[in-house]
Structure 1
Amino acid sequence: MSSAPSRSSSGPVAHALDAAASSVIAAIRELSAANPVVLIDGRSGAGKTSLATTLVSRWPLAGRVQLVALDSIYPGWDGLDAGVALAREQVLAPHARGLIGVWRRWDWEVGAPAEAHAVDPSLPLVVEGSGILTAETRQLGDVRVWLDSPMRSRRDRALARDGDAYRPHWDRWARQEAVHVGRDEPARLATHVFDVP
C-alpha cells in the first residue's frame, strides 16, 4: 500500500479536493490553536493522501506541520484496526497530553516494523488513513474530515496508484473498511464531510 498522491487526480476530483482543503484551512484558522490536529478518514482511493498533502503545502499557520499517514503504520493487509490503535496510542494520545509520540514505520516488503519516528506535541499534526475516525479518536482531533467517493472511482484511483501490489488485496481491505464504516459511523464523527467524484 502506498501513501503517494494519486497520479490520476485531475479535473473534478482535483477541484473537489481543493475546495475541501480551503474549507479545512478556514476551520484551522478559526481554531486559533498553535498545534491543532486534523484527522482525515475515508475509504481507499477517496483522496485522503491528496487532501493531506495539499493541506500541508497550504498550511495557514506559521511553522512546520507534521503529517502521519496510516499507510506507514498499518501492520499488514489485515491491520486496519491495529494500525488505528497504534496511531491513537503512539501518536494522538501523547500529542494531546503534550508528550512526544513515537511510532514505527511498517515495512510492507519485509512485513515487519522498521525505523521509529517522533511526533512533536508542540507542532500541528495531520493524520490521514482509513479508520482514523472512531469514538476514541474523536476527542483527539480538532478538525475531523470524512471523504466520501463512489466505489468505482475509488478503486480506479487506488489501483492506478498502487497497481498490482494492491489489486490482490482490494477486497480484503475493503471488508475491513466496511466494518469500520458500519461500526464507527465516521461520517457522523466528522466536523467536515466532502464528496469526491
Structure 2
Amino acid sequence: MNNQRSIIQAIKSAQAPDRMTTKIIAIDGPGGAGKSAFAEHLSHQLGSAPILHTDDFASRENPLNWWPRLLQQVLEPLSHNETARYQRYDWSTERLAEWHEIQPTEHLLLEGVSSSREAFRPYLAFSIWIETPRQERLRRGLERDGEAARPQWEEWMASEDEYVEREHPERKADLVINGAQAYDLSVFFDG
C-alpha cells in the first residue's frame, strides 16, 4: 500500500473502536522522520481533518512521558463521543498555555513521537509508522533547530530508541512508510 488511493481507502474503511464516532489515525515515528509533513497532506486528502500534535503535550524535559494528560483530556472524552478540551504546552514559554477544543469528527490525525503507544491503541482506528534513517532525522532536526540543539536532539533520540525498543510500534502499525520518501510526498499524494 503506497499510493494515495490505497492509503485513503484503507483509512476510510478502518473502523473506529467500539461506539466511537471519531476515527483516530496515529502518525508515529521518531523525531525528524517526516510525520508533520505527511500529516498535513493526509489531512488535506481527508477533507481538512484536524491534526493533534503530541508536541502540544510533550516538552524538552519530558519528551515521552506526557501521555496521561493526552489520554485524560482528549482520548477519553472522544471515546465517549464528547468534546475534548486540552491545554497546549508552549515550548517557548515552557509552560501550559491556552485551552483548545476538539469536537467528535469523522477523522482526527494524532501526529507525533509515540502517538501509537500501547496506552493509545484502544482508541486508534489506524496507525502509520514513518521509518527514517537516524542520520537523516538528525540532519533534518539540526537544519530546523540549529547545531546548538545537537545535544538535545541526541537526548531525544535516545529516549525515542527506548520507546521503540520497549513497544515496537513499527510491528503494530497498519502501514509503514519510508520517511526518506515522506518529504517527497508525490510518492504518496498527488501534488
TM bin, normalised by shorter chain, reads 0.7 to 0.9
Corresponding position of 1:168: 151
Which whole-Å CA distance do the structure 2 matches of 1:123 and 1:163 have between them? Answer: 38
TM-score normalised per structure 1: 0.80
Asked whether 1:70 is paired with 2:47, we answer no
Which whole-Å CA distance do the structure 1 matches of 2:34 and 2:3 have between them? Answer: 10
Contact 1:35 1:122 in 2 (8 A): yes
Q: Flag as ranges the 4+ runs of structure 1 deviating above 6 A.
A: none
1:53 to 40, 62, 71: 40
Which whole-Å CA distance do the structure 1 matches of 2:22 and 2:123 have between them? Answer: 12
Corresponding position of 2:171: 188
Extract unaligned runs of 5+ from structure 1.
Answer: 1-18
Q: Helix, strand or coil for the counterpart of 2:161?
A: helix
Cα deviation 1:59-108 (Å, max 9, x = unaligned): 1x5xx52111111221x213123333322222122212211111111111
TM-score normalised per structure 2: 0.82
Contact 2:22 2:78 in 1 (8 A): no
Contact 1:65 1:124 in 2 (8 A): yes
Which whole-Å CA distance do the structure 2 matches of 1:65 and 1:101 have between them? Answer: 15
Contact 1:36 1:142 in 2 (8 A): yes
The alpha carbon displacement at 1:54 in A equals 0.6
The alpha carbon displacement at 1:158 in A equals 1.7
Q: Helix, strand or coil for the counterpart of 1:103?
A: strand
Q: Read off the aligned partner of 1:97 and give its amino acid letter.
A: H
Which whole-Å CA distance do the structure 2 matches of 1:165 and 1:69 have between them? Answer: 24
- CA-based RMSD: 2.1
Contact 1:44 1:154 in 2 (8 A): yes
Q: Read off the aligned partner of 1:56 and give its amino acid letter.
A: S
Extract unaligned runs of 5+ from structure 2.
Answer: 181-191
Corresponding position of 1:156: 139
Contact 2:22 2:81 in 1 (8 A): no
- Relative to structure 1, is the Cα distance of residues 79 and 140 closer, same or farther in structure 2, using a 3 angstrom cutoff? same
Q: Report the number of matched residues.
A: 175
Corresponding position of 1:41: 28
Q: Helix, strand or coil for the counterpart of 1:45?
A: coil
- Relative to structure 1, is the Cα distance of residues 110 and 149 closer, same or farther in structure 2, using a 3 angstrom cutoff? same
1:30 to 7, 13, 20: 13
